[in-house]
Amino acid sequence: MRKVISFLLLAGFVFYFATLTGGLLIPDSSADRSSVGLDILSRSADETGSANAVTSVVVLYRGFDTLGEVTVLFLAALGISVFMKSTGEKRKKVLDQSFILKTGSRLLFPLMFLFGMYIIAHGHLSPGGGFPGGVIIATGFFVILLTSESVNFNKTLMSVLEGLAGLSFIGLGVVGLLGPGNSFLQNFLPLGTFNTVFSAGIIPLIYAVVGIKVGAELSSVVYAMKESK
Amino acid sequence: MLYLLAFLVVVMLIAGIAVIVVKDILSAVILTTVISLVVSVIFLFIASPDVAITEAAIGAALTTVVFVIAIKRTRSKETTDKE
């Protein structure tokens, strides 16, 4: 019975997805799309200076929404660290890893970290941004945590980084509120040259802050889950 | 293009059914990863690379990590309880 219900549910989802994809594949469907998207596409480059229109929506037009997402993630991480309370002492049982795995992970970690930083720093130019970049950094951290026996994980540093990043997000928003724009998360920096790294006002700053916060939070989550009793 | 998308959807469908049918819970987790990867490729083809990169990072990498750790933890607890 349960399997039948599951199959029915799955079939329903597949049907829904197929209709959704089918609608997107018809070439001349732009006429009945909502005009908000087209409007944002036509003016975001001039207004925000960001080459990536999606980023301009996520950070500026819907910046408050991003703040809410970061808060939700913070609460989830808090819940996991309370639930999986670390006992402090190291677990004695250490798995025997092969030499190749150990060396490979040590070699891979800096590259993954660098790639995450790249994704964060180029959020306003190419696809990516604070969330995926932070997740990539956390995954790289997990790779090193999985293979080395003793990791000097500084939990206090992570908490401090996380708190500072969250505070700077709100601080940047408040500066926009007090500035000439008179609204929360309003851009107050010069836009710079279009399509260069140092451009788009406060977007790279906010994405850097979000990336640090997400990376620190998810690394703490992975560490808490791995090391708890 | 359409055929490629149809193929990807079929792969996703097979993986989705296999998640329900498969007995081993670890295999089910890996199959959900397969679904996430295929979905991220589909996102890339329908011109939304931002969503694709997020789906690949969160759905395929981090969710699997968290699930696998959770399975490992609960399994070790179950066996010690039985003893």
Domain stops at, among A9, A26, A48: A48
Of the three residues A48, A66, A82, the one that is the final residue of a domain is A48
Has residue A166 got a pLDDT over 80? yes
Supply the pTM of this predicted model.
Answer: 0.76
Cβ–Cβ gap B16/A10 under 8 Å: yes
Neighboring chain A residues of B17 at a CB cutoff of 8 Å: 7, 10
Q: A207 and A128 in one domain? A: yes
pLDDT digits (tens, 9 = 90+) for A53-64: 888 888 888 888
Q: Indicate if A165 and A189 belong to the same structural domain.
A: yes
ipTM score for this prediction:
0.77
How many structural domains are present in chain A?
Answer: 2
Q: Where in the sequence is the domain holding A9, given as residue range(s)?
A: 1-48
Of the candidates B46, B58, B65, the beta carbon closest to that of A142 is on B65
A17, A63: one domain? no
Give Cβ neighbours of residue A32 (< 8 Å, ≥ 6 apart).
none
**Nearest residue to B63 via CA among A225, A152, A17, A151:** A225
State pLDDT tens for residues A16-65. 777 777 666 655 555 556 677 778 888 877 777 777 888 888 888 888 88
Residue B81 touches partner A, C-beta closer than 8 Å: no
Chain B positions in Cβ-Cβ contact with residue A207 (cut-off 8 Å)? none
Instruction: Work out how many CB contacts closer than 8 A connect A with B.
Output: 66
Do residues A37 and A144 both lie within one domain? no
Please enumerate in sequence order all residues whose Cβ is within 8 A of that of A143, keeping only pairs 6 or more positions apart, or say none: A105, A108, A109, A112
Q: CA of A142: which chain B residue's CA is closest? A: B65
| Cβ contact B58:A134 at 8 Å | no
Indicate if A181 and A95 belong to the same structural domain. Answer: yes
Domain identity same for A17 and A95: no
